[in-house]
Chain A
């Protein structure tokens, strides 16, 4: 990479759209294409895929043509790997514990883990928040709205 050619985010952006477009078009060819008068299920996916791929090329192309530098990076200046991990793991725990444990452990774990992602959070503050939200959540969703989600699986509360 020399001084004149700098990687800009728009190349990734265009490349991603190109990839998605081609992917959609190729997958779409697996369905019956049909004719204009009698379109099959594959017609629109293929067309939209081609359009998206074309747009991807245009996005990357305009970035290539423009002389404006792009100072922003794909990753933010201070990537929050731990915070992201916590946010993403909250729903994962919600799924697992909800499936095998029930509503109470699912809510508690989800909020607790998500709360840990903040850099000022402690185990204690997260646990208090999680407990509070759990009580509120159970009251609202179980008793008031009565959604079908057992509080604790296996135990009839």
Chain B
């Protein structure tokens, strides 16, 4: 198995190193790194804006570039947290706790250096995990019939909505809303237009870009306009020479990095627990096993190394369920899945065999992209720090233009711009009512495939609903669903100690003027 994996990987490097693909991978990580640094811009909005521009491209470079934005943004996000104490990117919010005190002590450069090393170790492990685990998952998933796919999607949807931040009930409600939005358009089997209200433009369904940019773009700008603090650049002075950590720091940070990597890679495998949860869990764990827990919060280098490693390993691992099963774990993955579908690639277990160039090329590009990011971040740190001081009043109007033209370019139709606007206002209303928009996108992307498989499995069983329980794999997934719901009810009734502790850490993290959407 190892030898085939290495041979496949070799092939992947061949794909990823084609000059054309390499260029787009570089472009992706560069743009990702850039938006990661900019406060108030997130990978979701960026990928949505870039998505229409990839329509004319081959699928391989398109996917390499869009993925690059996602992991590239993680490298940039930490800079904001460490130097400015601004958790603009949720996965790096917890890094503020020890990163900013280090900056105040004049060790901000060391913290950034450690972050880059931790990121690379975390990411490398995440990628290795993907190389070996994804083909294994595929070999299992190839046995799935429509009933199994259906139950598996249910697990993905439930986990995505209940394990994320905020009230699980509201999360599920948002998933259902997303499924309903996914229904808009012509029915696949009968052609009957549904929820279109006679608007011809809606017959093709709601545009995924309009949904993502409305919810994560316009709603986000409405939320943060005139609501952002002036950025304090007092401590943000870092030179290249500051970035090389001392031997003592490295020694201190080594094991936390390894532990963080493991926690992150585990979190990646549980659908719905993305990098943000991974970073919080690993910080809490590191504080717990530390011999000197009182140092945490006052500039402990472990408190930077551990969550950063776990974020990056989780980010890379996030791709596993998306690429092997076609079940996205979070918003960015839902968007990438949407991108695959737009490029005419059917997500699911057959992806690896039918589109080996995409799968193995993607994995190889992860390595290349991560090396590029390490190389980029050291000499360019001065530029990134300068970018931090770009005020929000210049950022959001420019971003609004990108939103408008991005949506327009998707179908060369002004109707889509209006659609985005309406979704944006609705998204803001939902946001003010404490509904998180992430599950909407998840439900939207999975909705049509869920309906198709649901119909098909009941057609095969002649309307017998017990088919979902009679087939063992499907029953197993349904059992997980029941377990997820039971766990939520238990947490709601008993409020276990570990969650209270996690809440306490969350409360310490400085609140951000930019809402939690940016991630």
Contacts and interface: CB of A to CB of B under 8 A. Distances in A.
A152 interface: no
B187 interface: yes
B222 interface: yes
Contact of B190 (A40, A83, A111): A40
Interface string A74-103: 111010100110011011101100110000
Contacts of B179: 44, 48
B176 to A, nearest CB: 5
B169 interface: yes
A137 B401 contact: yes
A59 interface: yes
A117 to B, nearest CB: 6
B408 A98 contact: yes
B375 interface: no
Contacts of B432: 9, 74-76
A149 B412 contact: yes
Contacts of A90: 397, 400-401, 404
Interface residues of B, number: 59
A64 B401 CA distance: 43
A55 B439 CA distance: 15
Contacts of B429: 16
Given A49-B180, A84-B222, A91-B403, A38 B459 contact: yes
Contacts of B225: 80, 83-84, 87, 117-118
A16 B227 CA distance: 27
Given A92-B421, A129-B397, A147 B195 contact: no
A32 B53 CA distance: 39
A9 B218 CA distance: 22
B176 A48 contact: yes
Nearest to B455: A39
Nearest to B230: A120
A151 interface: no
Interface string B222-239: 100111000000000000
Contacts of B397: 90, 110-112, 114-115, 117, 126, 129-130, 133
A119 B226 contact: yes
A52 B181 CA distance: 12
Contact of A55 (B172, B187, B418): B172
Given A41-B187, A52-B173, A115-B393, A87 B400 contact: yes
B414 interface: yes
B170 interface: yes
A49 B458 CA distance: 20
Contact of B414 (A45, A51, A80, A95): A95
Contacts of A148: 412
A106 B408 CA distance: 12
B401 A133 contact: yes
B221 A87 contact: yes
Contacts of A118: 225-226, 392-393, 396
Interface string A32-67: 100111111111110011011001101100100000
A17 interface: yes
Interface in A1-44: 9-10, 12-13, 16-17, 20-21, 24, 27-28, 31-32, 35-44
Contacts of B401: 90, 94, 107, 110-111, 114, 133, 137
Contact of A52 (B53, B180, B398): B180
**Interface SS majority for chain A:** helix
B428 to A, nearest CB: 8
Contacts of A84: 222, 225
Given A88-B421, A91-B420, A149-B412, A110 B404 contact: yes
A102 to B, nearest CB: 12
B400 A95 contact: no
Contacts of A20: 177, 180
Given A87-B400, A91-B417, A129-B394, A55 B53 contact: no
A74 B430 CA distance: 10
Contacts of A94: 401, 404, 408, 417
Nearest to A141: B405
B393 A98 contact: no
A106 B465 CA distance: 54
A121 interface: yes
Given A95-B418, A149-B412, A56 B396 contact: no
B173 A55 contact: yes
Nearest to B56: A145
7 contacts: A36-B465, A39-B455, A59-B169, A75-B432, A80-B222, A87-B225, A115-B397
Interchain residue pairs A-B with the least CB separation, the first 5: A37-B463, A36-B463, A41-B187, A114-B397, A118-B393
Interface of A: 9-10, 12-13, 16-17, 20-21, 24, 27-28, 31-32, 35-45, 48-49, 51-52, 55-56, 58-59, 62, 72, 74-76, 78, 80, 83-84, 87-88, 90-92, 94-95, 98-99, 106-107, 110-112, 114-115, 117-121, 125-126, 129-130, 133, 137, 141, 145, 147-149
Given A20-B180, A78-B226, A90-B400, 20 more contacts: A13-B433, A24-B195, A31-B187, A41-B189, A44-B451, A62-B169, A78-B227, A84-B222, A90-B397, A91-B418, A106-B404, A110-B401, A110-B404, A111-B397, A117-B226, A119-B226, A129-B394, A141-B405, A141-B409, A145-B53
Interface of B: 53, 167, 169-170, 172-173, 176-177, 179-180, 183, 187, 189-190, 192, 194-195, 218, 221-222, 225-227, 392-394, 396-398, 400-401, 403-405, 408-409, 412, 414, 417-418, 420-421, 424-425, 429, 432-435, 451, 454-455, 458-459, 461-465
